Amino acid sequence: MNKTACAARAIGVMRTAPQPGRQRSHPAVTPRQGESPKAFFQWLRNQPQYVHRLFAQWLTEAGFEVRSVLRQEAQPVWGARMRRGRVPQGNEEQVARQTICAGLKRLGVKYQLCEVDVLVQADRVESYFLFDKGHPGMLTFDRGQEQWIIETPE
């Protein structure tokens, strides 16, 4: 098995033509014959849900249970809806801000903590911030399943 197939299997994405509306995001991988790892990862970065997955992964690693990550179509406004998860009560706002700012820094944008809005209600946390990159749409997580929704709710 070549490096591209191993990387593709580890990431769990599939090359499919985009379908209008809802679609499954990554059930399996079928890399092209003779495809280089560089070409595969370039293809992966061009996927519309790539940046959404990065933010979801970073917030999950911080201890949140991510429900959805969305980017609005009309403006470069991003939002993440999540539950507190393993984050200690009272620290949700600070942890969410630090995680999002660290993620934006990894993507090449320096943000101050005060530029990320975080709303906390009981164990539910919502955060909003501005970021130009990425495709409009919403990536939702429900019972371990990802779902990519092209139309964003108003």
Q: Where are the domains of the chain?
A: 3-45, 50-149
Between CA 129 and CA 99 the distance in angstroms is 12
Between CA 29 and CA 9 the distance in angstroms is 6
Q: Beta strand 145-149 with 137-142: parallel, antiparallel or unpaired?
A: antiparallel
State both tokens at 125: 């946390």
Determine the average pLDDT of the residues in 7-18.
44
Please state whether the predicted TM-score (pTM) of the whole model is above 0.85: no
Contact 22, 147 (CB under 8 A): yes
Output the pLDDT for position 152.
54
Between CA 141 and CA 123 the distance in angstroms is 17
Write out pLDDT tens, residues 71-88: 998 899 999 999 999 999
Place 31 in a pLDDT band, splitting at 50, 70 and 90: low
Return the amino acid letter for 111.
Answer: Y
